[in-house]
Structure 1
Amino acid sequence: MKKTNGKTKKALLIIICAVLVATLLLGFCSCGTRVLETKAYDTAETAEDGEPRYVSELSRVSMGENYGYAAKALDDSAYESTEDGGKSAARNSDSMPKSDYKQTADAALRKLIRDASMDIETQKYDEFYSALGKAITENGGYVQSSNEHGSNYNYSQSRSMDLKVRIPADNLDAFINSVSSIATVTAKSVSVRDVTGDYIDTEGRIKALETEYDALLAILAKADTVADLITVQNRLTEVNAELESCKSRLKNYDDLIAYSTVTMQVYEVERVTAPEPETFGGEVLGKLKDNLIDIADAARAFAVWFISSLPDIILLALFGTAAFFIGRRVIRKRKAKKQKTFDKYVNSGKTEENDK
């Protein structure tokens, strides 16, 4: 019995060892296969010129369908954007750390759109408008749009104006300071939008489309059949339309980057908004002052209304007085008539009694 148990244990150990060995062999084979597949994929995918070996000439022509040229365009833009610093950085790229080189290139290529908005109050509307025009001219800007609101015969209100001004981006801060010095700015905001990625992608897209366009022209010159001519012409039309769209997009970006847009709302007020006090006492005094000013404004408004309405008040008083006297006279006549009738009736009754 013991011999049988010993043989059984040995058999189990042999089976377990065989399974482990088989598992290890399969694992090594799998790893080797993956390594070979990876090497084969890398070898098949990349050639000496950096392009896939299996890419045909026709697919190279249509590289505008992807961004294969984007990386090259980015590098070209990095060197072209800085004539001196960019080339020296390229020559010294071995000695410069990669992270520092990338930061330098990013700083040179960064495309920022800066815009601002301002809410302005002024007690001297006409003087402010003149000073604002001078500030715009001094900073090299221009008025893009202007919309002014004022009072009319039936409705009186303070004047206001909505403005959109284009100012060179380098002079934006100076312009904001100039406006703040000639009026009270109650609200101000400055926004910065980084369009570097989209700008560089658009540049790369333009270069890819131009390359495709030139290649299509070369193919068009060698086309033999009408079908080939039509196909190439159609593709040329599509590429040209997309190329113009990308160039227009880039031109719009250049304009927005070079000139900041300042949106202003200008309000004519009788008194400007005071800054918020920091202490409790200052807040109480400020509110008390506002209430006294409101009372004075109300009294002034009533006095203005009363004086300006005197002709109407006098006319109404005359009509009212005349109506009062006329009405009283009519009432007195009616009373006298009734009294006379009553007296007559009473007297006639007494006469009849005396006759009896």
Structure 2
Amino acid sequence: MSEINLFNRWTVKKKTFWLAIGLGIPTLCVLTFLVITFIGFPMAGSSVNYDEGAYDMAYSSPAEEPMMGAAVEGEFFGADASFGDKAETPIAAQMPSSGTTASTNGAVVVERLIIREGNITIAVNSTVDTREKINDIVAELAGKGAYVVNASESGRGENRQPYINMVIRVPVAQFSSVMDQIAEMGVRVDERYENAQDVTDEYVDLEGRIEAMEISIERLQELMRDADFTEDLLNAEEQLSRREAELEAYKGRLNYLAQSAALSLININLTPYELSEPIDTSWKPAETFRRAVEDLLMSMQDFADFMIYFGIGFLPWLVFFGLIIWGVVALVRRRRRKKASKSAAESE
């Protein structure tokens, strides 16, 4: 029997049926691959990572902490050479040297060491005047260690106010009040973010590491004094140098944590309020021509990128499916011609 009856409705030749099956299965596999590749169908095993900060009070991420030792001295001692002495009192109040205090009932209570940071973006009528007001606030708190870490401006032009960014450090006790004062300076508060990070465990751990490292260094110094051979002396000296470097790194990190807890960091962005900006009525044909040329070059680049992507990513598949469709159509037409010629022969 050279024909197959499908669903008791259609009669198809076996050769045509198996050819359709042979072409249909690879086509289905290719279509599935294309759907997964170009549409982004989620594959099994994919995962989503969530990062939640401690005590988050907004939607942004806190600024990264400086690396151990290197950035500490630049930030805390570069702005004011006498600041290290001024900060001793608030540091001691925030965290005792031992890291713990004993309560009246004999239980040991650890005082928490909290680093507070803030980020605020406000729209103001005059960014320059607002910057001066913030400088006045920092100057009032300078006796308690407050200072401006850095300040920058951009976008200044004719009849245009600049965008200003400032980073300041203020005593942790005045952190909330300073944030409120800055917010009140703005016509609109676009973003306000506050974060608190508990670093007590790291601080206590660093204290223990420093104490153990100092004891180890003393033992190495004793071994060097009692060394009878040059080789032993050189080995001890090498270990001593390495451990002294680690000790300095621990002390730098400890100092950074203590200073960061005593002085909170606030990142401030000042943007001009739209309604306070003057209307620019000047005509600048040269600038318009430059923007038009840039848009033309950008559109030509996008078109070239599209043609390259289309030629490499899609054209081979179009050719592949085109050949399949052409083969199926040719087969159907051939079958119809044979059927028509057979019917004509039978009618004669």
TM-score if structure 2 supplies the norm length?
Answer: 0.48
TM-score if structure 1 supplies the norm length?
Answer: 0.47
Question: Which is richer in helix?
Answer: 1
